[in-house]
Amino acid sequence: MAASSRFWGVASGLAAGALWGLVFLAPKVVPEASPLLLTAGRYLAYGLIAVLLIASRWRRVTAALTRKAWGALVWLSLAGNLVYFAFLVVGVHYAGVAASALIVGMVPVVVALWGLRDKESPPLSRVAPPIAVAALAVGLIGWESLSQGGGAAAQSGTATLIGLGCAVAALLSWTAFAVGNSRWMGRLPDVTPHEWSLLTGVVTGGLALLLVIPSLFMLDGMTDDAWLRLIGVSAGVAIFASVIGNAFWNQASRLLPLTMLGQMIVSETLFAFIYGFIWEQRGPTVIEVVAMILMIVSVVWCVRAHRPAAVAAAEGEH
């Protein structure tokens, strides 16, 4: 992997994480909106913007797609957007924010472990330490949240198990998206990362139409001001997180191997915490600072583990 490709891959991955972290503020800005309404609003806006941006090159881009590619777009849209978010919402409802965040935050670890099967990946001895550091960082953040009373103590045992199960399903859903998306980016060299992101947006927007009718039955507390904020949040998240953020992520997916790509997802959690501190107008606790430092160390360590000289040296030892 060339040094320039590695640099731009890492930069793209971090940029995607910074933009994706904005999503966590959406429920804070529009607390009156139900999760289903927020989901429908976000992905309908994403689909509409994607249609407008890709309209002029629709024929050229779609000419490179086979039936299998269209099928991949459908399941990637479901796994990475609608299904993932639905499972996450149920997980938060029944198991609490902290437990769900802890489980879903393990995505970098699962993706990196999955990527060890790739031929271009470095030996496990090189990748295991930064993966362990990432897992420790996520564990610290989850423990801090649980210790502050963010757990699901008020829920029954059965409800908590349902919530935890849905959080695990969300973890698996996004892992499948990250792996599948990376694979398909490599199979379609004639489609740019931005174009693939827009195609995903078009398909996701079409699937989001199915959420409109059920979401209309959950409009309690939606005032005129709340509707204006919902429209603004939906458009903002669609543009910055879905369109631009996904384009950056697709670029990273094309330039980085899965073991390295998985570590880039950690940046989403890092930026989400930073935005949360700004929104809540408070500073991080000591444990949160330690966890964020560990996340940064994990990413830097993983980048160094993928340097050509490091990989060659590790392979020579086996």
Q: Is residue 253 included in any domain, yes or no? A: no
pLDDT of residue 151: 45
Residues of the chain with pLDDT below 70 are 1, 92, 96-99, 101-102, 108, 112, 115-121, 142, 145-157, 259, 262, 303, 306-318
Total domains present in the chain: 1
| Residue at 81 is within a domain | yes
Q: For 276-294, write each residue's pLDDT tens digit.
A: 888 878 888 888 788 878 8
pLDDT of residue 75: 94
Q: Is residue 15 one of the residues assigned to a domain?
A: no
Tell me if 29 is assigned to some domain: no
Q: What is the pTM of this model?
A: 0.74
> Is residue 112 in a domain?
yes
In a domain, 87, yes or no: yes
Note whether residue 168 is domain-resident. yes
**Where would I find the H helices in 96-191?**
97-104, 107-115, 124-147, 157-187
Q: Identify the domain containing residue 197 by its residue range.
A: 35-232+268-306
The predicted structure's pLDDT at residue 160 = 73
112-128 pLDDT, tens per residue?
Answer: 677 666 666 677 777 78
Separation between Cα atoms, residue 82 and residue 95, nearest integer Å: 20
Determine, yes or no, domain membership for 166.
yes
Contacts of 47 (CB under 8 A, 6+ apart): 201, 202, 203, 204, 205, 206, 208
- Distance of alpha carbon 127 from alpha carbon 299, whole angstroms: 11
